[in-house]
């Protein structure tokens, strides 16, 4: 089973809203990732969690706040976003010392 | 500074023929390379990978070649099938701060024509 699930599939939010994106995997992977992908662009790394601890933050604005409650779950809390934050947000996971990352289907976020 | 480059934004190949997708990288710290396939509105799907200590890896119709001295890798798909039509991303991996970081190329849109 190489499934990573993400909810919701689509999200529309205003610039003053607070919302959260959720990601879940049951492959026993200990590394989880958040990526942002704009149209016709490659995925760009935002955050990496390794053994539930934040390992990499790619200088992401504080209006994006990641959280890893346990080894299977990864959240991305959103607050006061801008229209340019509209994108596909992808979650991925991998074995901590493995190289292949497995991606979820993504959440299409629109900020109005 | 684009560390991973796919110089062909699109490629059109006839069904049954060979598709060759190319990728170049600049950072010598990358030690593992991967190819992902992506359909619209879906996440990338892992296809095949290669370690920097190898020069070839094969999995069914897919073969990845790595030329480390040229910092170049390619994905061969043979024979090409209509279901292979998608965007293909090359990705390079480096271990940073105890975690694996993937850097993606810009992608190549492959179209297989019947």
Give A97's pLDDT tier (boundaries 50, 70, 90).
low
- Whether residue A10 contacts residue A108, with contact meaning beta carbons closer than 8 Å, is answered with yes
Please indicate whether residue A75 or residue A99 has the higher confidence score (pLDDT).
A75
Mean pLDDT for all residues in chain A: 93
Q: Residue B41's pLDDT is what? A: 78
3-state secondary structure of B41: coil
Chain A, nearest residue to B35 by Cα: A100
Q: Residue A111's pLDDT is what? A: 96
Q: Is A83 on the interface with B (CB under 8 A)?
A: no
Q: Count of CB atoms within 10 A of residue A60's CB? A: 17
CB contact under 8 A, B104 and A103: no
Closest CA to A44 of A89, A85, A5: A89
CB contact under 8 A, B98 and A55: yes
- Pick from A100, A103, A104, A106 the residue to mutate for testing the B interface (most B CBs within 10 Å): A100
Helix (H) or strand (E) holding B27: none
* A10-13 and A18-25 beta bridge pairing: unpaired
Contacts of B34 in chain A (CB under 8 A): 99-101
Give B96's pLDDT tier (boundaries 50, 70, 90).
confident
Q: What percent of chain A has pLDDT over 70?
A: 96
CB contact under 8 A, B102 and A101: yes
Tell me whether the omega of the peptide bond preceding residue A8 falls within 30 degrees of 0, making it cis: yes
φ/ψ of A83, rounded to 5, equals -55, -30
Identify the residue whose tokens are 């990864």: A74
Closest CA to A107 of A79, A78, A82: A78
Q: Is B71 left (phi over 0), alpha (psi -120 to 50) or beta?
A: left
pLDDT tens for A20-58 read: 999 999 999 999 999 999 988 999 999 999 999 999 899
Select the highest-mean-pLDDT range: A1-5, A29-33, A72-76.
Answer: A72-76
Give B9's pLDDT tier (boundaries 50, 70, 90).
very high
Contacting B residues, span 65-104, partner chain A, CB-CB under 8 Å: 89, 93, 96-104
CB contact under 8 A, B93 and A55: no
Burial of B94 (0-12, 13-18, 19+ CB in 10 A): middle
Nearest residue, CB atoms, A31 vs list B36, B99, B104: B99
Q: Residue B2's pLDDT is what? A: 76
Give the mean pLDDT of B49-72.
97
- Whether residue A48 contacts residue A31, with contact meaning beta carbons closer than 8 Å, is answered with yes
Burial of A32 (0-12, 13-18, 19+ CB in 10 A): buried
């Amino acid at each position: 089973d190489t499934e990573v699930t993400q909810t919701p599939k689509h999200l529309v939010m205003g610039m003053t809203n607070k919302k959260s994106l959720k990601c879940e995997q049951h492959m026993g992977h200990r590394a989880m990732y958040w990526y942002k992908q704009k149209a016709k662009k490659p995925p760009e790394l935002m955050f990496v969690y390794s053994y539930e601890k934040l390992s990499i933050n790619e200088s992401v604005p504080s209006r994006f706040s990641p959280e890893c409650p346990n080894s299977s779950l990864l959240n991305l809390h959103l607050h006061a976003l801008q229209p340019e934050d509209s994108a596909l947000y992808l979650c991925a996971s991998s074995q901590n010392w493995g190289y292949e990352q497995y991606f979820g289907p993504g959440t299409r976020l629109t900020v109005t | 500074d684009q560390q991973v480059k796919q110089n062909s934004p699109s490629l059109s190949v006839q069904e049954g023929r060979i598709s060759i997708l190319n990728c170049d990288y600049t950072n010598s710290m990358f030690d593992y390379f991967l190819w992902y396939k992506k359909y619209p509105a879906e996440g990338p799907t892992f296809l095949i990978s290669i370690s920097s200590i190898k020069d070839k890896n094969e999995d069914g119709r897919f073969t990845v070649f790595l030329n480390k001295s040229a910092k170049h890798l390619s994905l061969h798909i043979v024979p090409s099938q209509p279901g292979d039509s998608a965007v293909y991303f090359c990705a390079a991996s480096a271990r940073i701060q105890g975690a694996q970081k993937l850097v993606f190329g810009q992608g190549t849109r492959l179209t297989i024509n019947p």
